[in-house]
Structure formats: structure tokens, C-alpha cells
Amino acid sequence: MIKGLTTVARVASEEAFTQLSELFQTLGFEPGKGWDDSTGKGAAFLAPLGNLELAIGYPPTQPTLMVEVTQLDEVHAAVKTWISAHQGTATKLSEPTLTDWNSRLFTVEPTKDLTVGFWQSENPVHNRPIAVEGDLSAAGKRFAIVVARWNAVITDRLLQGSLDALTRSGCAMKDIQIVRVPGAWEIPSAARTLAETKDYAGVIALGVLLRGETAHYEAIYNEVARAIGQSQQETGIPHAFGVLTCETLEQALDRAGLKAGNKGFEAAIAAIEMASIQEKLGAQTAELAGRKP
């Protein structure tokens, strides 16, 4: 039922109104819809989260407007810069200090009628939504890599990147099954066969398609992508997509470890994370099923 919360801060003069509007714009508030009529005018500044707090015994000298930020020191520097451009406007600016509620806070009085407090929680997960996230640990898990032989100068680099990511994350070499297929077209078939065994926590597909090498470049890519996605959905085993689609051999080399990272490494990291997520979601599902009467 409650949709939003608005607090109105009165300012004494047109000059203060203009200067405060400039300050909040500088600090990155999203501008809202203002108003201007016979009773006065207002400028709206929006934030993604609003709270209403009621207090008893709250000292009148404490801020009545509290703004939560993520980079307190940078905000403090921006406010100090604003003050230097408006000499005499703000008479009080405190330094960021620790509070007894696990935060750092500084206050500023941009006008005599308004005290604003800017604060940042010292808790790194404060106000972050609770979410299931994967761990980057491959220890004790088995993975399969399907890699195309066509354009081996590229795919071998992708394979080494995937092996590097898996072993760095704790996967033993004996738990990695490598399957070589002729080209990208054959990747989905092998990936599906491996996934259906349910022996692997994830399947990593590696290949490369270069435009101009085949008249059916786009048709092949679309079918390979569709079939890998379908295999993932129907088997429930995460499939990491490491099939490059490039205009030239040089572009492919760049994406296989020269200039733009190694997409084989990135695909393996994605497979590890998704395998962890699947494991956690499965445990949650089993726990919920156990609670049902």
C-alpha cells in the first residue's frame, strides 16, 4: 500500500534554494519532478530507498535528513568543494567519524535551517538483497570439456584457459573429461551425451567460427547456440558457452588469450559458479520438500 516517502526541507531564500539544488545534483541524486506555483516552488531529488524513522530523545542538533552513500570520503570531498565555491554558505562541516551503530558519518549545515548527515555502513552486505550465489570452488566436482579440433590454434588456447580455471579452483585433473570433436557443429551432440550421464557438474563447450570460412556461418552459429542451450535446459546440467564467433583469425586470437582475456577461462569460471548454484538450489528444494506435511 505504501508506495513512496517524501520529506520536505524548507529553505530560507532563493539563493539557498539554488545552491542546495546544485549540491544535490553534484552528489548524483536523480532529479524528480519539481513544482512552481503561487505558493512557492520546489525541486525534487530522488533516491532508490526511503525510510521514515520516529525517535524519542533525539537531540535537536542531530541531522533531520540522513543520506546513505557508498563512497563517503568522495562525497565528503565533493561537499567540501561545494563549500569552497559558496563561501559563507555552510558554516559547519564535520569530518567522517565512526558511530556506535557500525557506520561512519559526517554532517554539514548548508543553510542555518538544515543539517544533513551523510553516512556509510561498515557492514559490506548492508542493505544488499539476500541472494543465492555460486562459489568459485571446483573441488570434488567433475567437469567435461567439449572442444573442437577445427582451428586448433585457437581452440587449444581456449582449452588451456579452461583447464587453468578448473585446476586453480580446486578441480583435480582426473575429474576433468576432455572430448575432442571435429568442429563447432558437432559440439552440441557430444555435450548432450555427456550431460545425460549426470556424471558431471558442468559441461564446457569450446570452439570457434570465423566468418568467411563457410557460407553458412550464421546458420551454424545459431544452431550450435540453440542446441547447447536446449541441452542445458533439458538435462539440468549447466553448459558454459565458449564458442567464439569472430570476423578474423586475429580477433579470435585476441579472445583466446592475447589481448581480450581467454574466453575458455571465462567459460570454465561460469561453469564452476553455475554448478555451485545448482547444488545450493537443489539443497534448498530438498529442504523445503522435507518441511511439507
Enzyme catalytic residues: 216
Element (H, E) at 194: helix 187-196
CA 198 and chain centroid, separation: 30
What is the distance between the alpha carbons of residues 205 and 225, in angstroms, rounded to a whole number?
Answer: 10
Report CA 127 to chain centroid distance, whole Å.
Answer: 15
What is the chain's percent helix, strand, coil content, to nearest 5? 40, 20, 40
Overall residue count recorded for the chain in this entry: 293
Q: Output the CA–CA distances (angstroms, integers) from residue 261 to 108, 134, 202, 265, in the order listed.
A: 45, 22, 22, 8
Residue 223's CB is within 10 A of a number of other CB atoms, namely 14
Q: How many CB atoms lie within 10 A of CB 143?
A: 27
Residues 6+ apart with CB under 8 A from 81: none
Cα–Cα distance, 289 to 193 (Å, whole number): 30
CB atoms within 10 A of CB 206: 31
Phi-psi region of 236 (alpha: psi -120 to 50; beta: other; left: phi over 0): left
- State the Rg of the chain over Cα: 29
Closest CA to 151 of 240, 284, 244, 73: 244
| Continuous segment of H or E residues that includes residue 14 | helix 14-26
